[in-house]
Amino acid sequence: MKKLLVTGASGFLGWNICQIAASQWEVYGTYRSKAVKIPGVNMIQHDFTDFQGLKALIEDIQPTAIIHAAAQSKPNYCQLHPDKTYPINVTASINLAGLCADYSIACAFTSTDLVFNGLNPPYKETDPVSPVSIYGEQKVAAEQGMLERNPQVAVCRMPLMFGKASPHAGSFIQGFVQALKAGKELQLFTDEYRTSVSGTTAAKGLLLALEKAKGILHLGGKERMSRYDFCRLMAEVFELPVEKIKPCLQQDVQMPASRPPDVSLESSKAFELGYQPLSIREELERLRGQV
């Protein structure tokens, strides 16, 4: 059986990738500090910023392919700690791409829709990058550095993702559900748009990219939706109190990292390869009772 190494397996996306891949691959997942057990997956504690350790791990496992999902992906944290997050988000990613080139290993990298400034959506793979946060800048540096070292890497720009939480990492909807169940009011942006997909759909897209893509690929969903409208739809599907969801604007909430208004991804290239996101309503209906 082919071997797949997933970095960041204890995170939300990495955990979903391992779940989906385990039926077709012999899966190895790395975690840095938060141990997690996934049935059918070989979990390994590893700090992937340690280059020699990473090289030894790859030589030991000899994977057919690697999905690099490990990152510090909180924009506000990256904005406040750029020196701490650069080695994780940029240096280690470029090193990994080089090792994949050296050992002829297929590689997919999880980038972000936040490489754009949100002023000219929807964004195609060929559109110029224009990040407005340090996190976005780091992902751009990783994309460019990885492709310089290894043009065969599939650089997958991911949208906002949601779904069932891993033991250590949830998606943005867990907080929404908890607040509404507790009867709390939620203020959500009406002027911030994304093309969201579930963690399951994202994982399937990344596995498809490993097989069929190289260079930059967008794995967005088929619907552009604000956080406010998303949460109202989620509340309807999950039978939670919609009246507690209140509209607000980005300018009403001050945060360390700037937020682009609309980073909707145009993902027809991936659709042509066989990537098939469900509608957001369908995704939410599948999650009902699990979040």
Rounded CA-CA distance 250/190 in Å is: 8
Mean pLDDT of 229-252: 96
Task: Give the tens place of pLDDT for each residue, 4-21.
Answer: 999 999 999 999 999 999
Confidence of residue 36 (pLDDT cuts 50, 70, 90): confident
pLDDT of residue 32: 87
Stated pTM of the model: 0.96
Torsion of Cα atoms, 25 then 31 then 37 then 39, to 10°: 0
Mean pLDDT of 150-160: 98
pLDDT of residue 54: 95
Q: Record the tokens describing residue 251, joined without a space.
A: 């300018």
pLDDT of residue 81: 98
pLDDT of residue 35: 80
Domain 172-195+223-264+278-287 belongs in CATH node 1.20.1260.10: no
Annotated domain spans of the chain: 3-161+197-218, 172-195+223-264+278-287
CB 6 within 8 A of CB 30: yes
pLDDT of residue 33: 83
Rounded CA-CA distance 215/270 in Å is: 12
Taking 90 as the threshold, does the pLDDT of residue 161 lie above it? yes
pLDDT of residue 291: 83
Task: Give the tens place of pLDDT for each residue, 92-109.
Answer: 999 999 999 999 999 999
pLDDT of residue 121: 98
Before 277, cis peptide (omega within 30)?
A: no
Strand partners, 30: 44
pLDDT of residue 290: 85
* Across 157-171, 217-231, 246-260, least confident range: 157-171
Q: Which CATH number fits domain 3-161+197-218: 3.40.50.720, 3.30.70.100, 3.40.30.10, 3.40.640.10?
A: 3.40.50.720
Contacts of 171 (CB under 8 A, 6+ apart): 12, 161, 162, 163, 165, 199
Residue recorded with tokens 């999905």: 67
Give the helix ranges, DSSP H, for the chain.
Answer: 12-21, 51-61, 75-80, 82-86, 92-102, 134-149, 172-181, 199-212, 227-238, 268-273, 280-287
> 65 in helix, strand or coil?
strand
Confidence of residue 170 (pLDDT cuts 50, 70, 90): confident
Mean pLDDT of 258-265: 97
CB 134 within 8 A of CB 257: yes
Q: Record the tokens describing residue 191, joined without a space.
A: 């002027």
Mean pLDDT of 189-200: 97
Task: Give the tens place of pLDDT for each residue, 41-92.
Answer: 999 999 989 999 999 999 999 999 999 999 999 999 999 999 999 999 999 9
Neighbours of 39 (CB within 10 A): 7
Confidence of residue 246 (pLDDT cuts 50, 70, 90): very high
Polymer length in residues for the chain = 291
Mean pLDDT of 132-146: 98
Rounded CA-CA distance 173/189 in Å is: 14
pLDDT of residue 168: 79
pLDDT of residue 142: 98
> Over pLDDT 90: what percentage of the chain?
93
Taking 90 as the threshold, does the pLDDT of residue 34 lie above it? no
Nearest to 291 by CA among 244, 242, 240, 241: 240
Taking 90 as the threshold, does the pLDDT of residue 165 lie above it? no
Question: Roughly what angle, to the nearest 10 degrees, separates helices 92-102 and 134-149?
Answer: 20
